[in-house]
Amino acid sequence: MYYECIPTTCTYCGCGCSVVLQVLDGHLVGVLPGKTNPVNEGSLCIKGWTSHEFVYREKRLKNPLVKKDGVFFETGWEEALDTVAGKLKKIKEESGADSIAALASAKCTNEENYLMQKLMRAAIGTNNIDHCARL
C-alpha cells in the first residue's frame, strides 16, 4: 500500500484555497485543507471537502463533444477547436464581431480568464466578455 499527499489548489472556485490530495495506490481517495496557506488557513467549504468526488464519476466529460445533426459526438480537441474557430469566423464575417460574446469561469485561473478576455478583444474584436462570478 502506497500513500501520498499532494499539495495543490481547489478547482471549484476562484478563492484558490490550498488543498492536499490524499492518494492511495495511485487513486485519489480524499482531500484535506492546506494549513499554511493564508487564503483558507486550514479550512475548506463543503465543495472543497468533496472536490475529489467527481474525478472517477462515470458521467464526467473527458473529451470534447461536437453536435452533428442535433446529436453530440465525442471528438478530439483538434476537431472541436477547428469547429468552434470556423463557426466564430463565419458569425463574425456575416454579422460582425459584436454578435459574439463569451462568459469566462470562476473555475479558471486568473491567467486563463485574462487570456479569454484577450482572445475576445484582440482576436475576435469585441468587448462582449463577462465572468460567471458577476451573474
Rounded to a whole number of angstroms, the minimum distance from the CB of residue 25 to ligand SF4 is 25
Which of 103, 107, 110 shows the shortest CA–CA distance to 48? 107
Q: Rounded distance, CA 11 to CA 107, Å?
A: 6
* Strand partners for 20: 7, 32
Q: Does 124 bind ligand SF4 (CB under 6 A)?
A: no
CA distance 132 to 14: 11
Q: Which helix (H) or strand (E) holds 15?
A: none
> Least distance to ligand SF4 from the beta carbon of 115, Å?
20
For residue 34, the minimal CB distance to ligand SF4 (Å) is 10
The neighbour count for residue 130, using CB atoms within 10 Å, is: 14
- Measured from the CB of residue 31, what is the shortest distance to ligand SF4 in angstroms? 9
Residues 76-95, interacting with ligand SF4 (CB under 6 A): none
Q: Which residue is nearest to ligand SF4 (CB)?
A: 48
The verdict on 10 binding ligand SF4 (CB under 6 A) reads: yes
Interactions with ligand SF4, residue window 41-80 (CB under 6 A): 44-45, 47-48
The reply to whether 32 sits near ligand SF4 by the rule CB under 6 A is: no
d(CA 88, CA 86): 6
Binding residues vs ligand SF4 (CB under 6 A): 10, 12-13, 15-17, 40, 44-45, 47-48
